[in-house]
Amino acid sequence: MKKFYLLSLKFCKDKRGAIAVSFAFMLPALIGFFSIAVDGSRFNAERSRLNDALNQSVYAVAITNNGNNTAAFRAQNNNQVVSYLSYYFPDKQISENDVTVTVNNQLVPGPGGTPIPAVDYQVNARVIANPIFDLSKNGSPGFSSNVTITGNGLSGIVRRTLVVNPSPGDYVFVVDFSGSMAEDSAQSGLTREKLLKKVVRDIGDEIFDLQDGSTIGIVPFGSGVPVILNKKNYASSQSKEYGCSFIGKMHGRFEKLDWNFWYNKPGGKGLPTEISKYVTKTDDALYDYYWYISDFQGYRIDRRRTNWLIDNNYCRQSGDKLLCDADPKSDIHNQLNQYKLKEQYSDFVAFTALEEDYHSILNSGTVDVAGTVSGDYLFDESNVRTISSFHNSYSLYKLPPDGDRSIFPATHYSCNWASPIKTKLETLTTISKPMYYLLELSTHKQIINEFEGMKPSGGTNSLSGLLRSVPLIAKGKNPRKIIFVISDGDDDFPKLRQDMMAKDNLCGVIKEGLKKYPANTSTTESDIYYISLVHNNTIKDWAENCVGQDNAFIATNIKELMDVIRQAIYKNEIEYLNPNDVK
């Protein structure tokens, strides 16, 4: 045994150099094969992790569904993908340049073979991985120092498809009808007004053709929301007053104002402090109103004019003066109204001065915000108020009859620009409705026909339209309620709206309230969307303070508008796709 051990030791000593040399030659290859085995498994695992990240990120992009058609939207989508990749690969620096997002609009077969819109979203990305052993510099087998890993082509693709039979809904379009809507849109050959009407027509036809009980209401707004009134304006048997409709709790001093009395009185800044002088100015303004009415009727000789006005109970003789007001509820000389005049005059003066400052009934000086957003206030139709827009702002068009008096025209309380007499005073005798006005919820296409006859004019106060839409849509009986606010510009005075949205959660109050009020409502789903017809800052404003990023859109042409509105009305299905199914 000892002899064998000695022989073996001698052999090892004699061959030691040759074995070392052989091992030295074989070692790089052995390390290379080890690297291929170990790093190859690592890289396959990272590719699997990358595919998981792509599947998650593309789903998020599809939910956002911004179209990827502007630089801002592309950056938004790329940032989402980078966020997911960074979560899955916390040890790597992921750049937007490593990400590709592709969006393709499709028409795919729907129920019965009818083509329905779909959008295919595809995401791909690359990450750089490093092997454990970097042998590329000395030519040994193995991976290079930077290995690019990409998706395997079987992940990162989803299809978002519209479902053509959503549950019934109540849909209200709160639409900007300010003067700028008469300007050209990005859709060739169409003004913004006509673009909007075309889209409301097309989407309205689709909704009504479902015949599932869905309703549409329309709230056109300028500086306020005009409404039709069945109230004679005394110019002729065919002519009517129109009103300015609003909802919003007023501060205490303004809540008590009786608009059945004040609606036809001179307002605005510069009113006298003495009530007696104000009475004189009111008499002058109302005399001018009825003077023009008699003129339209052909009574141009003073004696005949006076007799006609008295015979028709428009005026009464008081000494050598005519006192005119055919409405006993507003007659400033009616003994029953003297208390209102004395008790409310200072508050009326303050209110109309604020209305003149802000061009709106709803402004920071008049609205009790806490009371407005409290409980069911906004959802109760009985809280809606309408001020008759009395047509006696005639000093804007003609000199007063005797040419030497300063006439204080009555304010129109936010809705003056909806008056047809803005174009021709003589139309006072034929007014039947304002230039645009609120349309109640309807299941009939006639509502679209009526909307198409309206004309834009005036300023912009989107808060008046949004608030007024709430009690309107709350009257609907369907389980879904969606409000679309569509505008082409900034509000004239946005502060109150911005404060109510940012500080008082106005839009959250509306969305949650529609599911609670009125009692026993059937509503289970409610939402608000904001759509800008132009590129401006309002989209950021509404996204951050009201509707959220997912419900704020810029849509400048028919296709974009239809896509956005359809996306909201029709429920969407999102499904992962096999690349072989993508055409």
Name residues whose C-beta falls within 8 Å of residue 249's C-beta, 6 or more positions apart in sequence.
Answer: 255, 367, 368, 371, 372, 377, 383
Same domain, 157 and 183: no
Give me the DSSP letters along 26-65. Answer: HHHHHHHHHHHHHHHHHHHHHHHHHHHHHHHHHHHHHHH-
pLDDT of residue 516: 96
407 is a domain residue:
no
Same domain, 145 and 201: no
Same domain, 446 and 566: yes
Number of domains in the chain: 2
Tokens of 537: 């800052």
Q: Give Cα 220 to chain centroid, integer Å.
A: 13
Crossing angle between the packed helical segments 302-311 and 275-296, to the nearest 10 degrees: 100
Same domain, 24 and 130: yes
Residue 506: closest CA among 477, 534, 542, 479: 542
10 Å Cβ neighbour count for 299?
17
339 is a domain residue:
no
Tokens of 26: 């074989």
Same domain, 130 and 35: yes
419 is a domain residue:
no
Structure confidence by residue, pLDDT tens digits, 222-279: 999 999 998 887 888 888 888 999 999 999 999 999 999 999 898 888 889 999 999 9
pLDDT of residue 275: 96
Residue 85, SS3 per DSSP: helix
What is the CATH classification number for the domain harbouring 543? 3.40.50.410
Distance in angstroms (rounded) separating the CA atoms of residues 371 and 21 = 93
Same domain, 449 and 561: yes
Same domain, 193 and 126: no
Distance in angstroms (rounded) separating the CA atoms of residues 126 and 12 = 53
pLDDT of residue 96: 85
Q: Give Cα 177 to chain centroid, integer Å.
A: 14
460 is a domain residue:
yes
Name residues whose C-beta falls within 8 Å of residue 137's C-beta, 6 or more positions apart in sequence.
Answer: 145
Q: Helical H runs in 269-337?
A: 275-296, 302-311
Determine if the pTM surpasses 0.85: no
Residue 394: closest CA among 537, 288, 277: 288
10 Å Cβ neighbour count for 270?
11
Distance in angstroms (rounded) separating the CA atoms of residues 72 and 194 = 28
Structure confidence by residue, pLDDT tens digits, 48-75: 888 888 888 888 888 777 778 888 888 8
Task: Tell me whether residue 116 is exposed, middle or buried, using C-beta atoms within 10 angstroms of its C-beta: 0 to 12, 13 to 18, 19 or more.
Answer: middle
Same domain, 191 and 127: no
Amino acid letter, residue 523:
T
353 is a domain residue:
no
pLDDT of residue 34: 53
Distances (CA, A) of 136 to 59, 92, 517, 556: 38, 22, 71, 54
Is 485 in contact with 529 (CB distance < 8 Å)?
Answer: yes
Tokens of 319: 């000494």
Ordered mean pLDDT values, 10 residues apiece, the chain (583 residues): 55 54 52 56 75 85 80 87 86 84 84 75 82 57 64 76 80 96 93 95 91 96 93 81 94 95 89 94 88 85 92 93 93 94 96 91 96 98 92 46 42 76 70 92 96 94 98 97 95 96 98 96 96 92 94 90 86 76 59
- Cα-Cα-Cα-Cα dihedral of 303, 306, 312, 317, to 10°? -130
Buried residues in 520-540 as b, exposed as e (16+ CB within 10 A): ebebebbbbbbbbbbeeebbe
Distance in angstroms (rounded) separating the CA atoms of residues 438 and 43 = 63
pLDDT of residue 63: 78
415 is a domain residue:
no
Same domain, 24 and 148: yes
Name residues whose C-beta falls within 8 Å of residue 333's C-beta, 6 or more positions apart in sequence.
Answer: 279, 318, 323, 325
pLDDT of residue 245: 95
Same domain, 54 and 152: yes
Name residues whose C-beta falls within 8 Å of residue 446's C-beta, 6 or more positions apart in sequence.
Answer: none
Q: List the 385-389 sheet strands across, edge first.
A: 225-232, 240-246, 385-389
Same domain, 566 and 446: yes
Is 471 in contact with 247 (CB distance < 8 Å)?
Answer: yes
Tokens of 176: 């900007």
Angle at 331 between CA 329 and CA 336, to 5 degrees: 65
pLDDT of residue 1: 53
The residue from 162, 187, 212 where one domain ends is 162
245 is a domain residue:
no
Distance in angstroms (rounded) separating the CA atoms of residues 497 and 544 = 13
348 is a domain residue:
no
The residue from 162, 197, 214 where one domain ends is 162
Residue 547: closest CA among 535, 523, 534, 564: 564
Residue-number span of the structural domain to which 65 is assigned = 20-162
Q: How many residues belong to the chain?
A: 583
Same domain, 31 and 126: yes
Give me the DSSP letters along 497-540. Answer: HHHHHHTT-HHHHHHHHTTT-STT----EEEEEEEESS-STHHH
